[in-house]
């Protein structure tokens, strides 16, 4: 039989923090502790939360958190149960001493992992995602503890019933693979219970599961997943942290999500899109990264467009101040000259013009191919201007600094072709400067 004795620390910084901390610590002896691996913790990926009387009170100390978190992960309910056996007080610093008997309280069989979950995690692990709040983490641990009680044939008592009511209100909004599995498992466990209130909860869970086929409810899930998240302060702070993220790289990552998740976003009815995600059984972390990524792309694009408008306004103002020829007319003459010189051999060579314009002050800037194509057709009114589809394949292949001589291209290793593309950009810049003389 294997017992683990460990400390619970950080008590002043969570639910028990305040003037009554000492009293709460001294009266905690014998109380049950629910332990749950806090996988989203940025400071310590092995952090393990401790919950007493449904309150998040602290973390397992660093000395043993890696051991405790491993046992939590291997448990069928993703939680462990422990008991407070003592407390430690040194100069006003409190810690609880707790013990868990893993030989009796844990199912040590490995949980069968969703076969796609690991691949999804590895493929999209670099994408930022919204972190769970402490309340969401607390609820996750408490639901695991409820599941354990039901698996042991026990009923739910006191605060656990309140927690289950809260779970019923919240679980209807989640469409990840894990959320679906959890609803199905809790529905089976409550249906098999001898307690009538448990069987009533089973009926309510069955109703929640049928709501996943209701178009109106699915549309509300969409609003909560995407629109409410985008308005949150936490999301905007996350975007500010990743302002330098390249839109092209982000878009390419999103396009690689299976099932055309990105390509169909915004092109289907809300209920239809959420229904598609639900039946794809997307792992929770991957779904979180996808939602965050899609919304971040929209937000960064909005900021980029605003910045581009401001920079283009600066270009116009500077030209007016210096009495320079109208920018559009100058660009039309430059491109006509390059056509005459046969610099633009391929339709996609216009991409190099867009790239160099985006990297050069006092020239128009574009947030993507669509705005560049519109500029060529509508603003410059070029005859035989290239279509967006003829340039799309080369949109993201150019790498390097602001000067063409610093460029490289990911789609070819042909030195002659790379040199030709660089010369297209350099010739454009030279003609542009000469046009203002």
Q: What's the pLDDT tens digit per position in 28-60?
A: 999 999 999 988 776 677 889 999 988 999 999
Could you please report the per-residue DSSP string of 320-357?
HHHTPPPHHHHHHHHHHHHHHTT---SGGGHHHHHHHH
Q: Tens digit of pLDDT for each residue in 122-161?
A: 666 667 788 788 888 888 888 888 888 888 887 777 788 8
- 201-205: Cβ within 8 A, 24+ apart: 201/164, 201/168, 204/168, 205/168, 205/171
Does the pLDDT value for residue 18 go beyond 70? yes
What confidence score (pLDDT) does residue 262 get? Answer: 86
Instruction: Give the DSSP letter of residue 56.
Output: E
Residue 105 has pLDDT above 50, yes or no: no
Q: In angstroms, rounded to a whole number, what is the distance separating the alpha carbons of residues 360 and 194?
A: 74
d(CA 437, CA 422): 24
Instruction: Give which of 404, 431, 434 is closest to 420, Cα–Cα.
Output: 404
Provide the percentage of residues in the chain whose pLDDT is more than 90.
21
Residue with tokens 């103002």: 317
The pLDDT, as a whole number, for residue 323 is: 45
Domains of the chain (ranges; CATH) run 1-111 (3.30.70.2330), 113-323 (no CATH), 327-435 (no CATH)
Cα→Cα distances 220→173, 228, 231, 330, 405, Å: 8, 10, 15, 51, 51
Does residue 110 register a pLDDT over 50? Answer: no
Tokens 């959320």: give the residue. 179
DSSP 284-304: HHHHHHHHHHHHHHHHHHHHH
For residue 25, give the nearest of 3, 66, 55 by alpha carbon. Answer: 55
């Amino acid at each position: 039989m294997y017992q683990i004795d460990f400390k619970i620390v950080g008590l002043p910084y969570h639910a028990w923090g305040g003037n009554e901390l000492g009293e709460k610590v001294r009266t905690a002896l014998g109380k049950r502790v629910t332990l749950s691996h806090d996988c989203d913790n940025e400071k310590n990926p092995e952090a393990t939360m401790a919950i007493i009387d449904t309150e998040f009170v602290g973390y397992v100390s660093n000395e043993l958190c890696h051991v405790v978190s491993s046992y939590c992960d291997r448990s069928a309910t993703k939680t462990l149960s422990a008991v407070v056996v003592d407390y430690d007080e040194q100069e006003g610093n409190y810690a609880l001493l707790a013990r868990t008997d893993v030989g009796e309280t844990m199912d040590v069989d490995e949980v069968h992992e969703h076969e796609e979950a690991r691949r999804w995690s590895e493929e999209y692990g670099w994408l930022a995602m919204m972190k769970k709040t402490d309340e969401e983490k607390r609820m996750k641990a408490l639901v695991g503890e409820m599941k354990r009680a039901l698996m042991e044939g026990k009923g739910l008592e006191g605060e656990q019933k309140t927690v289950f009511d809260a779970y019923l209100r919240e679980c209807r909004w989640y469409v990840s693979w894990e959320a679906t599995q959890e609803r199905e498992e809790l529905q089976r466990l409550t249906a098999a219970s001898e307690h009538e209130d448990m069987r009533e909860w089973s009926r309510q869970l069955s109703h929640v599961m049928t709501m996943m086929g209701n178009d109106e409810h699915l549309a509300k899930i969409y609003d909560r997943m995407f629109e409410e998240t985008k308005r949150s302060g936490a999301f905007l702070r996350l975007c500010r942290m990743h302002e330098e993220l390249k839109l092209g790289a982000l878009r390419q990552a999103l396009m690689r999500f299976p099932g055309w998740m990105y390509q169909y976003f915004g092109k289907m009815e809300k209920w239809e899109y959420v229904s598609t995600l639900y039946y794809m059984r997307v792992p929770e972390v991957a779904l979180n990264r996808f939602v965050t990524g899609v919304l971040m792309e929209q937000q960064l694009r909005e900021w980029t467009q605003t910045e581009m408008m401001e920079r283009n306004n600066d270009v116009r103002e500077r030209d007016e101040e210096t009495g320079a020829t109208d920018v559009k007319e100058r660009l039309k003459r430059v491109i006509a000259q390059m056509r005459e010189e046969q610099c633009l051999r391929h339709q996609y060579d216009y991409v190099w013009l867009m790239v160099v314009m985006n990297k050069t002050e006092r020239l128009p800037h574009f947030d993507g191919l669509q705005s560049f194509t519109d500029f060529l057709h509508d603003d410059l009114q070029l005859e035989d201007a290239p279509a967006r589809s003829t340039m799309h394949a080369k949109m993201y292949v150019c790498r390097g600094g602001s000067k063409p001589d610093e460029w490289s291209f990911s789609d070819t290793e042909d030195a002659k072709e790379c040199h030709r593309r660089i010369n297209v950009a350099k010739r454009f810049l030279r003609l542009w400067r000469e046009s203002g003389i």
